[in-house]
A and B are shown apart, each in its own frame.
Chain A
Amino acid sequence: MTITRRQALAAGIAAGGLAAGIRPGLAQANEIVIAGSIPLTGVFAFAGIGINDGIADYVKLINEAGGVSGRKVRYVYEDTAYKVDQSVAVFNKLTGSNAANFYYSDSTGFAKTINPELNRKGSMIMAGASFATELNDAKAYPNQFIAGPDYSDMISVLLTYIAKTQPGAKIALVNSDTEFGRDPIATTEAMAKKLGLSIAEKIVTPPTSVDVSTEVLKLRRANPDYTIFHGYVLAPLPEFMTQAKQLGLKTKFMGTFWSMDNSLWAKVGEAANGFMGVMPYRYYFDEDAKAPMLAKIRQMRPEYVSTAYMQGFLTAMLFCEAGKRCLDAKQEMTATNLKAALNSIKDFDTGGLIGAPITITGNSIPVGRVYQYDAARKVMVGQGDWINVSKPS
């Protein structure tokens, strides 16, 4: 039989199409896929690189241990440069060519934008780098969760600590004029009032500002006991603290998760001494309690890994735990079943990544601990116990 060139071409196209059609089906049956819009470049790259390593390392660990209920886990990702449009394009590409069960989102903007599409697909659940209070709403965001406390919860941990340490303390709030920065302002005021703390000053800084002299002057006149920053990574916190020290202010400076990386403060030097903040996870070097997972991380990574790494690692762990519970219950891995499996997590041991057993009833894990930077030892040191700020249901 003679095969013409045209027939051979048609047969090739058909075979290719068949293979492309079959591959996702096979993948779905035999593996679990975590896909991710990861900000490996752009303004959030410092975190994205750590997040990526954290997810990849957990996937490696779980696969070496036999996978999730016998299924191997595959992690696929692409860089988004922390841009929502690019993140959406990556989502469409990755979920179009992979039967993703879980998705890592890089920002609040993307999490909000993709939510209707995520609900429409109904095949995966999503968590990510955003701790936005708005996402902590299981009705509006039924297929998403936050692998830690939301920003309002983080501030609640700080205020609970302050109320316990110095009842009636005066507080100043310094927030960046961004969606990230403005997130917890309203809840902070309400929570402070409830705890008997007073808000002495509210300062908002534009995202492009470099010099903070005028803001420090405001702080000097308010003379608060505590100053809580939110909406920043590092700058302009060191300059704030340096100038406040020059002026002899006694205020204690605090921050939230994205400002808490140890390696960032180690580069600041003496000015960083005494900086406090809330951490949802233990630090790489924490050895003050049983934390076998931290020991494993240290084995895999002899050098310090960032707080962003811990966030990525824990998120992957929770993805896999939800998948495991779903498969063990012999349920189909749909978004509804996966989210229900996630919400069945009760008093779960994260291997010491979080210093208290966790329960996920809604969209977040409202637990954190206050740490303080010790410039002489160049480490963040835990202050007191882990604080649970879950609201009574």
Chain B
Amino acid sequence: MEFDWLFFCEVTLAGLGSGALLALTALAFVLIYKATKVVNLAIGEMLMVGAYLFFSFAAGFGLPVWLAIPLALIGGGLLGAIVERTIIRPMLGESAISVFMVTIGLGSVLVGLVEIIWGAAPTQLPDFMGTTPLFIGDAYVSRKIAIGFAVASIVIAAFVLAFRFWRGGVALRATATDQGAAYSCGIDVPKVFSAAWIVAGVAAAGAGILVGAVGGISPTMGVFGLSALVVVIVGGLDSIAGALVGGLIVGLVEAWSGTFIGGEYKLLATFGLLILILMVRPYGLFGTVEIERL
């Protein structure tokens, strides 16, 4: 039987697109870890809150999309700020596992809040991406996925550049490397922590809007964050470029395995890849290798 190259290309493009959505979520995860060394397991729930905020502004208050999106992003940033100031900062100095457990609890609280405020039923976001099919040559690409890919690529590229050249980005890198040294250089470390959570909240809200536009919203959509966890482990917990590369790799693996082996093998392939990466490169493809000497 002749191999269907067009089909393969379409599946590959779909994989890259859904990988970009994963990468954007992973970005929020990486930003927090990079600055504060906190593994935030509530990132999926923060994403969910962003999607619900957009839903409220666009469908509830009937605001135009160009206004609803920035408002939802601001809301996401605000959530990040509140969480950092009221929950995470008091935990400074506590063991990593304690903070990790707090973020799990935070996830449950956010799900509960969403169920109280918006109800438990799944729903759809208002369509703001259009329905005209998109073709690259003869290959079909889902319009929403293509838009998601473009947004994720631009945002991640912007973050890579910001960390390289912007003062704030450099301050964040310095804090991540050595908090004591950063303090002594005059960097306001608590402010850097806040900034990281705010920016991560904005990124998560953006990812939530995109994920919600594709798959709908519900109080359980936070499980998407778990897929992003695989991405950050593959790409490297503290690497922004790793989030993008990891996202694209996981997206491709899921698309190819789901199509050519079967949907029931998607997770098996993804977690198989995770184990393989952990065996070969325990800090991920682009993560900082920590050398511990006894």
Contacts and interface: CB of A to CB of B under 8 A. Distances in A.
Interface of A: 41, 43, 45-46, 48-49, 177, 203-211, 213-218, 220-221, 233-236, 238-239, 242-243, 245-247, 261, 263-264, 267-269
Contact of B215 (A211, A214, A246, A269): A211
Given A215-B258, A263-B121, A206 B267 contact: yes
B140 A217 contact: yes
Given A208-B267, A211-B14, 14 more contacts: A43-B219, A45-B115, A49-B120, A208-B224, A210-B215, A213-B142, A214-B258, A215-B258, A217-B14, A218-B259, A221-B7, A246-B133, A264-B122, A267-B124
Interface residues of B, number: 46
Given A211-B145, A217-B10, A45 B263 contact: no
A217 B267 contact: no
Contacts of B266: 177, 206, 209
A203 B263 contact: yes
Contacts of A261: 121
A264 B121 CA distance: 8
Interface in B214-260: 214-216, 218-220, 223-224, 226-227, 254-255, 258-259
A267 B127 CA distance: 11
A213 B17 contact: yes
Nearest to A43: B220
A377 to B, nearest CB: 18
Interface string B100-133: 0000000000001001000111111001000111
B14 A213 contact: yes
29 contacts: A43-B219, A43-B220, A45-B115, A45-B120, A177-B263, A177-B267, A204-B263, A204-B264, A205-B258, A205-B263, A208-B227, A209-B215, A210-B215, A213-B141, A213-B142, A214-B15, A215-B263, A217-B7, A217-B140, A233-B122, A234-B122, A234-B124, A235-B122, A235-B216, A239-B214, A239-B215, A242-B131, A267-B124, A269-B127
Contacts of B11: 214, 217
Contacts of B112: 41
B143 interface: yes
Q: Residue among A43, A206, A210, A263 with the most chain B CB within 10 A?
A: A210
Contacts of A221: 7
Nearest to A44: B120
B124 A46 contact: no
A214 B259 contact: yes
B121 A46 contact: yes
B115 A41 contact: yes
Nearest to B211: A210
Nearest to B258: A214
Interface of B: 7, 10-11, 14-15, 17-18, 21, 112, 115, 119-124, 127, 131-133, 140-145, 211, 214-216, 218-220, 223-224, 226-227, 254-255, 258-259, 262-264, 266-267
A205 B143 CA distance: 20
Contacts of A267: 123-124
A41 B14 contact: no
Contacts of A243: 142
Given A214-B255, A217-B10, A247 B140 contact: yes
A210 B263 contact: no
Nearest to A176: B263
A220 B227 CA distance: 27
A64 B112 CA distance: 35
A264 B259 CA distance: 29
B124 A268 contact: yes
Contact of B123 (A210, A220, A264): A264
Contacts of B141: 213
A48 B3 CA distance: 48
Nearest to A221: B7
Complex A-B, nearest 3 residue pairs according to Cβ-Cβ distance, in ascending order:
A45-B120, A213-B14, A204-B263
Contacts of B7: 217, 221
A45 B215 contact: no
A123 B220 CA distance: 36
B255 to A, nearest CB: 5
Contacts of A247: 133, 140
B128 to A, nearest CB: 13
B222 to A, nearest CB: 10
Given A41-B112, A46-B120, A217-B7, A211 B131 contact: no
A204 B259 CA distance: 10
A212 to B, nearest CB: 8
B216 A234 contact: yes
Contacts of B119: 46
A177 B133 contact: no
A46 B14 contact: no
Contacts of B127: 269
Nearest to B112: A41
Contacts of A48: 120
Nearest to B127: A269
A213 B263 CA distance: 12
A207 B121 CA distance: 17
A46 B262 CA distance: 30
Contacts of A215: 258, 263
A269 B220 CA distance: 22
Contacts of B124: 234, 238, 267-269
A235 B141 CA distance: 19
Most chain-A CB neighbours within 10 Å: which of B17, B141, B215, B226? B215
B107 to A, nearest CB: 13
A210 B142 contact: no
B21 A210 contact: yes
Contacts of A45: 115, 120, 219
